[in-house]
């Protein structure tokens, strides 16, 4: 052991980092660049991670917030993993754009559920965060006034939807499992006939990463969540660590953001990563701690993930070229 360095046990949560929907979205941009060359336009950050976005920019991706920022072009225009309102592909079609939809299939599932409930005459309660691109996309699947957003338990207690007897709920895919369960319970107590999703809307990756954090957080002095401030699933991981008993839980984008005073005196450290954070950033943070501590790294596995989503049809090798 290096006498100059204090010992530090690092528990790496598994699963962590990229989920299947994020891998598919990033691969879609890279395959479009390989197949069609630069530039490739991307509406909104393809995933919420600056490192990923900057690396794709270097390869020739141009990120825009709205389609009116895209010039008249034959270049591909890719929609982000978070999903888009129906007006966006309609605008793209009107402008004869070569649009590629990289919406995560699990987000698309929520869109389809909302449409089915709407066709059955139900008013929809959407549990999610106002302004998050996934929520904007889901609300944009249906006419205004057909979806009511529920952000907090207080909202669940007080909202007055227009049709109390024929309601259904859907949720954003990246929410806190525990918070959502609380809100659903409140809504069910108020609206006993509330229709639920056929299968849980919160995605497998969000659920698995939160569960891993809940297992590790009580065992460590501090927890680092590698992820972006605008990443919903990363913020929920930090909250989950705090709730599970880890007072020093911080969200970091990179090793350069480490405030070493926060970690003074620790002997155990948990590390996880949001679903849009690449493993290279986890490695970077582990290396930074290894420079100051005599580290012993362990993997804390709570689930195995084998989910795979194929590329959007327009980019598959079996599609007509």
Residue 93, number of CB atoms within 10 A of its CB:
10
Residues 267 and 236 in one domain: yes
Among 63, 82, 104, which residue terminates a domain? 104
Residues 177 and 114 in one domain: yes
User: Is position 317 within any domain?
Assistant: no
Question: The domain containing residue 285 runs over which residues?
Answer: 7-18+204-301
Do both 264 and 177 map to the same domain?
Answer: no
Q: Is residue 316 part of a domain?
A: no
DSSP H stretches of helix in 10-168:
20-36, 50-59, 87-94, 105-119, 133-139, 153-158
Q: Are residues 227 and 287 in the same domain?
A: yes
Q: Is residue 223 part of a domain?
A: yes
The angle subtended at Cα 75 by Cα 74 and Cα 80, nearest 5°, is: 130
Same domain, 57 and 111: no
Q: Report the chain (321 residues): mean pLDDT per 10 consecutive residues.
A: 83 97 97 98 94 97 97 96 97 97 97 96 97 97 97 97 88 95 97 91 94 98 97 96 97 98 97 97 98 98 96 80 46
Q: Has residue 76 been placed in a domain?
A: yes
Examine the domain organization and report whether 169 and 246 are in the same domain.
no
Is there a domain that residue 310 lies in? Answer: no
Report if residue 195 sits inside a domain. Answer: no
Considering the domain architecture, whether residues 146 and 118 belong to the same structural domain is answered as yes
Same domain for 121 and 82: no
Domain harbouring 259, CATH code: 3.40.1010.20
Task: Identify the pLDDT of residue 32.
Answer: 98
- Any domain includes 12: yes
pLDDT given at position 198: 83
Single out the residue in 162, 190, 218 at which a domain terminates. 190
Per-residue confidence (pLDDT) for residue 318, from 0 to 100: 63
Give the orientation angle of helix 20-36 with respect to helix 50-59, to 10 degrees: 10
Task: Answer positive or negative: Cα dihedral of 139, 144, 147, 148.
Answer: positive
pLDDT at 165: 79
- φ/ψ bin of 245: left (φ > 0), alpha (ψ from -120 to 50), beta (otherwise): left
Question: Which one is catalytic: 134, 291, 305, 321?
Answer: 134
Report the CATH number that the domain containing residue 79 is assigned in CATH: 3.40.50.11270
Q: Based on the fold, state whether residues 131 and 169 are members of the same structural domain.
A: yes
In total, how many domains does the chain have? 3
The predicted pLDDT at position 319 comes to 52
Residue 118 · residue 142 · CB < 8 Å: yes
Give the pLDDT confidence score for residue 159 in this predicted structure: 95
Asked whether residue 142 falls in the same domain as residue 77, the answer is no
Q: Indicate the residue among 59, 86, 104 that finishes a domain.
A: 104
Indicate whether 250 belongs to any domain: yes
- Please say if 66 is a catalytic residue: no
pTM for this entry: 0.93
Same structural domain for residues 222 and 251? yes
Residues 28 and 94 in one domain: yes
């Amino acid at each position: 052991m290096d006498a100059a360095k204090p010992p530090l046990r690092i528990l790496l949560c598994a699963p962590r980092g990229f989920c299947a929907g994020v891998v598919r979205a990033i691969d879609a941009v890279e395959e479009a660049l390989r197949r069609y060359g630069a530039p490739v336009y991307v509406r909104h950050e393809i995933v919420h991670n600056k490192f990923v976005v900057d690396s794709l920019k270097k390869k020739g991706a141009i990120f825009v917030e709205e389609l009116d920022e895209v010039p008249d072009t034959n270049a591909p225009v890719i929609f982000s993993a978070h999903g888009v309102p129906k007006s966006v592909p309609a605008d793209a079609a009107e402008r004869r754009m070569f649009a590629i939809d990289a919406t995560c299939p699990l987000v698309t599932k929520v869109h389809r559920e909302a449409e089915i409930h709407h066709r059955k005459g139900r008013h929809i309660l959407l549990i999610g965060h106002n302004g998050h691109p996934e929520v904007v996309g889901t609300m944009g699947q249906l006419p205004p006034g057909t979806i009511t957003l529920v952000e907090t338990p207080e909202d669940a207690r007080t909202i007055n939807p227009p049709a109390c007897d024929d309601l259904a709920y859907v949720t954003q895919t990246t929410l806190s499992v525990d918070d959502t369960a609380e809100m659903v319970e409140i809504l069910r107590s108020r609206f006993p006939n509330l229709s639920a999703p056929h299968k849980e809307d919160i995605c497998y990756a969000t659920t698995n990463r939160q569960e891993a954090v809940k297992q590790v957080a009580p065992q460590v002095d501090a927890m680092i969540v590698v992820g972006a401030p605008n990443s919903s699933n990363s913020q929920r991981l930090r909250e989950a660590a705090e709730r599970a008993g880890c007072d020093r839980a911080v969200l970091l984008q990179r090793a350069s953001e480490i405030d070493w005073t926060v970690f003074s005196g620790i002997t155990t450290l948990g590390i996880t990563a949001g679903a849009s954070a690449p493993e290279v950033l986890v490695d970077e943070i582990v290396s930074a701690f290894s420079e100051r501590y005599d580290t012993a790294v362990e993997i804390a596995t709570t689930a195995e993930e084998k989910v795979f989503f194929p590329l959007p049809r327009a980019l598959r090798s079996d599609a007509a070229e």
